Amino acid sequence: MCASARPRSHSELSTGRPVSASNVSGRTNAAAERLLGPTNKSKWFGKHVVVTAGPTREHLDPVRVITNPSSGRMGYALAEAARERGADVVLVSGPTELTPPAGLALTRVETTEEMQHALESLVPNADALIMSAAPADYRPKSQADKKRPRSAGALIVELEATPDILGSLKRRKGMVVVGFALETGNGLANARSKMQNKALDFVILNDATEPGAGFEVTTNRVTILGRNGTQVDLPLLPKRDVAERILDVVAEAL
């Protein structure tokens, strides 16, 4: 931290300039909430918010799984940012190595079906669902109850689709639903199709092939799409900053 000729007042926050009606931004408000605590001026204040994060695992046998490289960082950042804006947050987390943010409720799950069941019990009371997890889309049609030895030779595994969580959830009227679309091509078209087919209010699009975005990194570059035609293209940012920008945009629908 740099030395200063005088201590900064609370109204200057981390921007180094006084806050006025003409220069307040969502990011500055978020900084205020981190320093001073949430205020009821935030549209997130008092809202019941469910955030999902991380991967899920589908077992082939007791020691082998089908999964993906999701770290859970994006979902954890969103949960922490919403809590700091005064929301009552439940984080539904698949297996990760992350430390859960303080001050929120945590539900741990392993499989996609477990995540589905957890959300079925939580969303009836939610004002917003942010589905940032990366649940496995497929699972073995049958599971072995013992480890299959390598010496048994080649293995053919028949897969079946896991439950479609967003497609199956019964939603409370007025609940804002945010989905994520991790694509490897034709991203905008696929994300808009997902938004329409799953009746989402917003879709957060990112490209799994882009360096610095997607899985197992601390940064992300996303496009925020809204069903009202909103499109916000963000540059590559730390995931916590991406979370703040997503909450700024979604807040307009609360």
The residues annotated as belonging to the active site are: 68
Task: Give the C-alpha separation, 35 to 138, whole Å.
Answer: 43
How many CA atoms are closer than 13 Å to the CA of 160, on its beta-carbon side?
8
HEC string of the chain? Answer: CCCCCCCCCHHHCCCCCCCCCCCCCHHHHHHHHHHHCCCCCCCCCCCEEEEEECECCEECCCCCEECCCCCCHHHHHHHHHHHHCCCEEEEEECCCCCCCCCCCEEEECCCHHHHHHHHHHHHHHCCEEEECCECCCEEECCCCCCCCCHHHCCCCCCEEECCCHHHHCCCCCCCEEEEEEEECCCHHHHHHHHHHHCCCCEEEEEECCCCCCCCCCCEECCEEEECCCCEEECCCEEHHHHHHHHHHHHHHHC
